[in-house]
Structure 1
Amino acid sequence: MENIPREAYLPEVDRTASVTLPSVLSQAGAALASPFLPEPVKAPLSMALGLPTMLEGAGTLLNEGVKVAVLDAAAVGFSLARGDYATANAIVAMLGLGEYLEQWTEQKSDDLLKNLLRPQVETVWVERDAREVSIPFTELGVGDIVICGAGELMPVDGVVTDGEAALNQSSITGESLPVHVRPGDSVLSGTVVEDGRLKIAARSVGAETSMARMGRFLENSLRTKSVSQTRSDELADKLVPVTFGLGLGLFALTRDVRRAASVLTVDYSCAIKVAAPVAVKSGMYAAGHCGVLLKGGQALDNLARIDTVVFDKTGTLTKGDLKVTDLIPLNGMDGEELLALAAGAEEHYSHPVARAVVAEAKSRGLELPPISQVDFIVAHGVSAFVEGERVLVGSRHFLEDDEHVDCFAAVKLGRELRSQGKSLLYVAREGLLVGVIAMRDELRPEAVEAMGLLKERGISKIVMLTGDHRDTANAIAESLGCIDELHWEQRPEDKAAIVNRLKKDGHFLAFAGDGVNDAPALISADVGICMPGGADLAREAAQVVLLEDNLKALAVARDIATQNEKVLKRSFQAAVGINSAVLLMASAGLLSPVASAFLHNASTLGILGYAAASGGRVPKSQEFIRSKRQTEEVA
């Protein structure tokens, strides 16, 4: 695991167990034996067993006020004061057992969540000078050709360059069926080659791999609390003085030490405080196995509350893989010359439009002209000099409004192409429009169904943002069918402004995107959602990262979030209801201190079990994704 960055394993808050199994067993043995011990032994033994509880209670009272430890100390102290050593010892034993089991349950939920991580390898096989050599993982670099055979763990994120194989992606997506990959397919670190052999061109290594990122996200999530957890904790703390006051009040009125001790053994906060993190972590684990990585409980909390989802079009609702469809040369330029000119200017620009143009030029074997003085204008285009002549490549708005290039010759043709859902790239040289390049970005095959699934799950408003022209945007929105609000020709800063405006209008919203220019909107939204192939900045800014390249994973995440909300609510209701009933019976003198402590601890453990089991249940909606993947495999 040493190749995962150190920050992925920063120590958590209070990782040392305060109660160990040997101490619990010794307390239980002493409690069982105390009725049969002689009086000279029974008293000092009971004082020794109860002293740590009473000292902790005294310290808590002085430093923090009336908390759970004060109740426990008072219950034990009352029993010792009246000489009921068997009861005092039984209370200490049950307190220890309850605390140990609570620690064990919470640790199990942490370990369950961490099981999403898989260990890194120490050495890897790479291709060097037409030979296969083994090198330390730490020496691996971007661009290296990594070789993985059957049974081996994928150590990098990359693209298959040669070979075919069946990959087990269960550690990433939760899918138990192997996925067939071939040249051109992307693969993630942490997957296992079940059958076949692959050569992979490494895109991300070491601390930048998906598994290392998951390590950082998950470890951070274990330290954070959601708003609902914090509120539950605050309410639980407020209920402690109520129990303490009731116990002391009963003693003052009745002088019945036994009844007061029975009341003081009942504590609302144990079940409330521990059940919430257990349910949240179990829900995060279930989400991880359904292809959704949540950065903390607040993301799960917010997903259950959203009523609006804002989608950036490119790379989110579409595949993000633009293809050149039409070349329209003007003013004496031929098609291939136009393409080479545009590709030369865009060659060093990382935007999807630039990549599409350059890829088309390379696929045709065109020689790109030498370029100088390249200037990238964000969300507009590129300005460059080719053989001393200024070349502009970008949107019509950029050329016509900003650079005053006459684009009238392409108006009619542009309108026709945009009505087909195509995006247009205008090219000018020395102030003269020399051509238009049309591109199309296909909708994701599951996009229409995913929009419908979100509507079924209570999302009342779906918004699409795009930098495309109005006609192109309308054509795509009509294809999707569920778009309630559409914004076109958007700049990066416009996206965040729209998100903030929707929030001011009272919407609780999620924003889904994948580009660097989406980061402001991802941060501004109540829930930022990044696609699997998102840019580094987008992945860091988002609270939710999809590991499965399927928009229907959003419906699964919504199901898990709403289910978790129900689990938290039911756990809270059970904790308050059961403990209130026990408290009333103890106040009426119907329960002994031992019986009261037993019922309290038993109910707490029952609620914890329910929170762990229900919070971690994978929803049936996961079948949306699995059925699609199985269909693709058969095809």
Structure 2
Amino acid sequence: MPALEKSAVVSLAPQQPPAPASGRSFGDLQRIIRPVLVILPAVGLALGFAARLSGYTPWAATFWGAACIPVLLALLVDIVASLRRGEVGLDIVAALSMTAALVFGENLAAVVVALMYAGGQNLENFAERRANRAMTALLSRLPRTTLRYRDGQLDEIALDLVRPQDRLLVRQGDVVPVDGTVGTALAVLDQSALTGESLPVQKNVGEPVMSGVTNVGDAFDLVATHRAAESTYAGIVRLIEAAQRSKAPMARLADRFGMVFLAWTILLAGGAWLWTGDPIRALAVLVIATPCPLILAVPVAIVSGVSRAAKVGVLVKGGKALETLARVRVLVLDKTGTLTNGQARVVDIRPTAGTSPDRLLQLAASLDQASKHVIAQALVADAKERRLPLQLPTSLAEEPGEGVSGIVDGQKVVVGGIRYVDKMISDGDAVLARGDFPAGSVVVSVAVDGVFAGFLILADSLRTDAAQVIGKLRALGIARIALATGDRRDVAEAVTADLHLDAVCADLSPGQKTEIVAQERRFGPVMMIGDGVNDAPALAAADLGVAMGAKGAAASAEAADVVLLVDQLGKIVPAIEAARWSKRIALQSVYAGIGLSVIGMIVAALGYLTPVQGALIQEVIDVAVILNALRALGTPAEALT
């Protein structure tokens, strides 16, 4: 069938009110301040040299010192905030070197350090902005209102006003706003976003309906059984929030080296001062110790890795996500829309003798052009894909949710469920006897001129490249791969029989999927790939959540760390390769830069370098590590094998 409108499945979380027009958020201020903190030391450095060349030498130091102070103040604010969170990073070395340089009158060294530090910070923030700029209003489509019957009329009311026993109207294409039961007629629902079932289900009068599913049939009445805040959809919101709160943040790559390098720097600088009594020697050590190879090389490699992933249609939300992507060892997969295509397609045609498969599909699809049923639409789409000419049906009669009959090309055609067709023909017992069908499939029966003509079998088939992708992931070192789906176990096992997965977990609720992720973590860092609303809590709980963003629900894309912007599971393979290559390049830059810095620190401690000379040498090291980090934009040879 045509892709069910998963994108119409609305967000779980309430939309945040817009910021006042007269004020700016803290994030807005940061976006303005960061570039300014780069411009100020650059301009101050230029003005200082201009003053020196013009003969106004005293002004040079003033320009350099003044340009350094805003960066130092911003740095101190960041350090205080980090310390309050219990984090100790390499920013302290940069603050010590700038402060000491200003105290001892080495303003040129101070402004050079300030420029390098501010530039590194801006690059790191640029990486985050670049990674997230494609995310546009992902959680902005939560239904705010619903239609309620009151005194013989339909009133549009806020969702919060719905009470148990209220009768609501759910139109075609609407998302069911609260948990309830079917009040009138037959409801045809797409539950894939919540349960993982790719095929629509039918609910009769009195049967329960979950909030968050989409009405893909005719309009029906819903009798509310819960308030909005107590419904299934709201419960998933709480699961996502709890998972995100419990997910331990991963430290920046640069900060992992922080404590050792900070201790070494203070020990060497303090030792040089105590040994010689010369504070300038300690300053020279601090200046050359300023961790620009870490501050610069890592964000440059991250930007490069994020950019490379974006080129293949993968949105990586920042440096932490890229680092985690590089080290995952366990994969948990959803089924519907992830391993499978997420939509029903004709997988088998079983005509009777004398009827060709194409003719059977052509007749059924021609008749089904007049039906809105999602299975009918799937037959029409499949026939068009096969370029079968469709005829205009006449004398139509449809029983909603059961089947349709009419005249096609002068023949009386009946299309629908087995029992529906059984009632319309004389050899119905023979139809019912032909019952060997794949697990999880939908069987459409066809009769022509009162005689059974054959079956059309529809199912949500495995992606054509699924086995190949699984093999490539195992070759990349993903040691364990498990399936976690809300679909039935027999369907899950039948679909994945040839994939040789390590575990198949079925009939799962959103909360149980989160538990599976937690259990799998004992085997290593866990990557979860999913696309539905029911996957969002598990995506948030995993070490790395990957959402199928092309057709998936907004909530899953919001909860994920990585979004596949095209509907191809295989895109995760080059994304992992890019992440590992970028991390490898970043580490090379870090090790080389820190090694050269340590050598320079020792030379400075022995008195062979002034603070300005140390700053210039540090500049050379910075350029070298940045050029090396930019290699992350290239393709690793390992990724091509």
Please indicate, yes or no, whether the TM-score normalized by the shorter chain is above 0.5. Answer: yes
Residue 263 of structure 1: CA displacement? Answer: 1.7
Structure 1: distance between partners of 2:275 and 2:638: 57
Shift in CA distance, 604/467, structure 1 to aligned 2, threshold 3 Å: same
- Alignment of structure 1 residues 251-266 onto 2, 5 Å: 251-266=273-288
For 1:307 and 1:318, how far apart are their aligned partners in 2? 22
- For the residue of structure 2 that corresponds to 1:549, the secondary structure is coil
Map 1:492-571; keep pairs closer than 5 Å: 492-503=510-521, 505-531=522-548, 532-571=550-589
| Cα shift at 1:471 | 5.3
Amino acid paired to 2:45: V
Which residue of 2 is the match for residue 153 of structure 1? none
Distance 1:59 1:466 in 2: 48
CA gap 1:54/1:535 in 2 versus in 1, 3 angstroms: closer
Contact 1:293 1:545 (8 Å CA) reproduced: yes
The count of residues paired between Structure 1 and Structure 2 equals 441
- Give 2:205's aligned residue: none
Give the structure-2-normalised TM-score. Answer: 0.56
Cα 1:74–1:500, aligned 2, differ >3 Å: closer, same or farther? Answer: closer
Which residue pairs with 1:457 in the alignment?
Answer: 476
Spell out, residue by residue over 1:206-258, the C-alpha distance to the aligned partner (whole angstroms, 9 max, x if none): xxxxxxxxxxxxxxxxxxx9955536337537745753554344333312344
Instruction: State the distance in 2 between where 1:301 and 1:286 align.
Output: 14
The answer to whether the 8 A contact 1:57-1:71 is kept is no
Which residue of structure 2 aligns with residue 298 of structure 1?
320
CA distance in 2, matches of 1:555, 1:598: 41
2:112 equivalent to 1:91:
no
The counterpart of 2:464, out of the listed 439, 442, 445, is: 445
Partner in structure 2 of residue 289 of structure 1: 311
> Which deviates the most, 486-495 or 561-570?
486-495
1:473-513 deviations in whole A, cap 9, x for unaligned? 44433333x4222234555554334333323x334222222
Matched, 1:69 2:91: no
The within-5 A match list for 1:13-92 is 13-16=30-33, 17-20=36-39, 21-30=42-51, 42=57, 46=61, 49-50=64-65, 53=68, 64=80, 67-78=93-104, 80=105, 88=106, 90-92=108-110
User: Which residue of the other structure, out of 341, 357, 368, is the alignment partner of 1:319?
Assistant: 341
Work out whether residues 422 and 438 of structure 1, in 8 Å CA contact, stay in contact via their aligned partners in 2: no
1:456 shift after superposition:
0.7
Judged with a 3 Å threshold, the aligned counterparts in structure 2 of structure 1 residues 258 and 519 are, in CA distance, closer, same or farther, namely: closer
For 1:508 and 1:111, how far apart are their aligned partners in 2? Answer: 25
| Structure 2 partner of 1:215 | none
The superposition leaves residues 160-198 of structure 1 with CA deviations (integer Å, 9 ceiling, x where unpaired) of: xxxxxxxxxxxxxxxxxxxxxxxxxxxxxxxxxxxxxxx
CA distance in 2, matches of 1:31, 1:457: 57
TM-score (norm 1): 0.57
Partner secondary structure for residue 398 of structure 2 = coil
> 1:368 pairs with 398, 408, 413, which one?
398
Overall identity of the aligned pairs, in %: 29
Q: Matched residue of 2:458: which SS?
A: strand
Contact residue 323 and residue 356 of structure 1 kept, 8 A = yes
Uncovered stretches (5+) of structure 1, i.e. residues with no partner: 81-87, 119-142, 144-224, 329-334, 373-391, 394-408, 428-435, 625-635
Question: Are 2:256 and 1:230 equivalent residues in the alignment?
Answer: no
In structure 2, the gaps of 5 or more residues are 1-16, 20-24, 84-91, 137-172, 174-246, 352-359, 385-389, 403-416, 419-429, 446-454
Which string of whole-angstrom CA distances, capped at 9 and with x for unpartnered residues, describes residues 41-78 of structure 1?
A: 65575356446647976997899596523322323433
Distance 1:77 1:410, change over 3 A: farther
The structural deviation recorded for 1:457 is: 0.3
Question: What SS does the aligned partner of 1:69 have?
Answer: helix
1:553 CA drift (Å): 0.8
Change (3 A) 1:246 1:93: same
Deviations 1:10-63 (A, max 9, x none): 626253322424322112334567xxx6xxx65575356446647976997899
CA distance in 1, matches of 2:401, 2:440: 28
1:582 aligns with 2:604: no
Give the whole-Å Cα distance in 2 for the aligned partners of 1:615 and 1:226: 27
Letter aligned with residue 262 of structure 1: A
- What is the deviation of 1:585? 0.7
Deviates more, 1:106-115 or 1:516-525: 106-115
What amino acid is the match of 2:545? G
Q: 2:308, 2:578 within 8 Å by CA — same for their partners in 1?
A: yes
Tell me how far apart the structure 2 counterparts of residues 539 and 371 of structure 1 sit (CA, whole Å): 33
Give 1:520 deviation, angstroms. 3.2
Amino acid at match of 1:70: L
**Shift in CA distance, 103/536, structure 1 to aligned 2, threshold 3 Å:** closer
> Does the C-alpha gap of structure 1 residues 567 and 357 become closer, same or farther in structure 2, counting only changes over 3 Å?
same
- Residue 529 of structure 1 aligns to a residue whose secondary structure is strand
Describe the shift of the 1:522–1:61 C-alpha distance in structure 2 as closer, same or farther (beyond 3 A). closer
Higher relative contact order (CA 8 A, sep 6+): 2
CA contact (8 A) 2:65 2:102 kept: yes
Aligned to 2:437: 417
Q: 1:272 aligns with which of 266, 272, 294?
A: 294
Distance across 2 between alignment mates of 1:61 and 1:442: 57
